[in-house]
Structure 1
């Protein structure tokens, strides 16, 4: 699609599952032309997930709409050379192998740079290109566990809890990849020199831990599970159960929000100064919120600046307009058929063009001619 920020940019996507494909989806939505290489047979493992939408999974459909996909056996020298030729035409190459794998296949940065000196080559890995963990297998939960982030919030037994989403994949992988690819494209415009971007999902989680790192640098202390301001140690930032089994999410950190909240819930005056008596205040608010059902508290907080809300179900979030399931961006299976609304894009509308219906790719045989011809 012409006229968009990345119109004319060719992207060769060698990645699988979530971090890389979501990154190249964002590039595609800004106008880039994305060609995806998948393994022969089943293709990207994401295609096999449930539920299905057409011949592939709904997950695959929303992450790969508008791309083209071709099967290649990268261990076959002839097919590998064909993929290398595609890389020679690309402005951006994204790969998600463990360190050293792309080099052994003959598709590492050195091989690609030899045929495309100005290429932006992005490697997304779990632990970075070197170090004792570089070759280890992992997934989002593994990276969160080893980064230290998973352990900072604990339940009443002291055990960490499962995260609400795949934070390492998206916040540590996808977003840093997109940001660095865009910066690298700008640098290539200025210098003509290619760039090898290394995106370590585990290391990039340090950005999410900025407060813990800052506190350590200033005081020498490390976060204690469930005892920090944002991890359960403060009554102002806490989750409280209601009488009907629902929950209240309280984030009344600033004094004016805290004072208004205390007034509305009629917290005893002596407890409103919570510094140094956090445990007692948490216990008092726990008892107070447990006296009434969620609907009572929701009505009480309506129109009030208290940064406190009932924890919504997905159905409630959709009804409130905070989750879109009926957007105009849609996806269809290859060959046509019924479309479904797809992932709401974080790319600003002015930078990605009109909303439209696109097909997710069938897996085709790698052609002899260039798909970018």
Structure 2
């Protein structure tokens, strides 16, 4: 089956994580994604460990279902290739710092003159404007400047490096896809495309959600462990006797009653309803003591049949074996191209009409160069000439 985005053709100039995760979602939903990669400046994701069969597992996952064209954008002939591709590729995704694509002759204004229907998505750390637009940054910096890190972590130890890239993925990737698809819908009515400026810091700032709303409207500045959902209440993680952890989110009275009854302390439920910080701390200490009386396996068995919003903190190895994740088919087998397959995380979106099967893991650099140029009508002689000139790999 072709997938709901089969009509979209994307030129993807991005590297590393934010842009590639966005185009992965598009490709999984059927879009035709062509990566434009430098033959001289490797995408560092290609060498990121761990490796499977000599290939970075991260690269193999983030770039599955995409073709690769190795093209030196600094050479004039490369610009001509891009112009030809724009005849039927109506979306550009790029992740350079502001001004880089313009200097290459590939800025939005130059390309929309060739294809007015072009939707051009720029994902950057700080956006196309503002005093930080040219400043370097990483996920941890965007979360810090957006205010998110100020009320995460523990009072004594400070903010925590989260381990997953929230600003990159929830900020840049997902907001980029949302904006891109909105622009596609708008184009269906207007017939013209537009430029989408996606700042990972902007999008991370929007993730403040409830805390940001409370501050802006009421002046309530959240701090570490002083909010209901950031450790200021019983809503937290609890250690078992053998050093494992469980999550407790029993916010509603019915869930709190189930939690306390399962632990043999039904009288504690009343404290869970109190907004007073002192009573919340008393409850938290009592729950800590109760959890530490039992081993992890005992607690898992205890809460398996109790609807109390209590779940174990699983390792990735345990998560992929969990019956819920298995029932949702969140792991898929993706062809490597040699007759074998690699286990990868599946697209999490479920469409009643289904999605196309994964076609291949991330391609070798320039793997589809000859194929793509041949589709543009180039002769084998011309392709060989471009290769000798080092325009292509």
| TM-score (structure 2 length as normaliser) | 0.87
Question: d(CA) in 2 for partners of 1:349 and 1:180?
Answer: 20
- The residue aligned with 1:319 is 321
- The residue correspondences of 1:117-266 to structure 2 (distance < 5 A) are 117-155=116-154, 157-235=156-234, 237-266=235-264
Q: Deviations over 1:133-192 (max 9, x none)?
A: 111111212211221112312235231112141111111011111111111112112111
Question: d(CA) in 2 for partners of 1:254 and 1:207?
Answer: 26
Moved more, 147-156 or 282-291: 147-156
Question: d(CA) in 2 for partners of 1:371 and 1:360?
Answer: 21
RMSD over aligned Cα atoms: 2.4
Moved more, 273-282 or 363-372: 363-372
Question: d(CA) in 2 for partners of 1:372 and 1:354?
Answer: 25
- Contact 1:88–1:112 under 8 Å retained in 2: no
- Contact 1:12–1:36 under 8 Å retained in 2: yes
Question: Residue 280 of structure 1: CA displacement?
Answer: 1.8
Moved more, 155-164 or 255-264: 155-164
CA gap 1:283/1:329 in 2 versus in 1, 3 angstroms: closer
Following TM superposition, where does structure 1 have runs of at least 4 consecutive aligned residues deviating by more than 6 angstroms?
325-328
- Contact 1:30–1:352 under 8 Å retained in 2: no
- The residue aligned with 2:69 is 70
Question: Residue 80 of structure 1: CA displacement?
Answer: 3.1
**2:298 aligned with 1:296, yes or no?**
yes
Question: d(CA) in 1 for partners of 2:169 and 2:70?
Answer: 25
Question: d(CA) in 2 for partners of 1:285 and 1:209?
Answer: 29
Q: How many residues align?
A: 370
Moved more, 11-20 or 82-91: 82-91
Aligned partner of residue 124 in structure 1, secondary structure: strand
CA gap 1:78/1:224 in 2 versus in 1, 3 angstroms: same
Moved more, 195-204 or 355-364: 355-364
- Among candidates 325, 335, 343, match of residue 341 of structure 1: 343
- Contact 1:267–1:285 under 8 Å retained in 2: no
CA gap 1:154/1:27 in 2 versus in 1, 3 angstroms: closer
Moved more, 146-155 or 105-114: 146-155
- Among candidates 293, 307, 310, match of residue 309 of structure 2: 307
Q: Deviations over 1:286-316 (max 9, x none)?
A: 1221122112222221211110122122232
CA gap 1:200/1:191 in 2 versus in 1, 3 angstroms: same
Point out where structure 2 has 5 or more consecutive residues left out of the alignment: 378-393
CA gap 1:301/1:369 in 2 versus in 1, 3 angstroms: closer
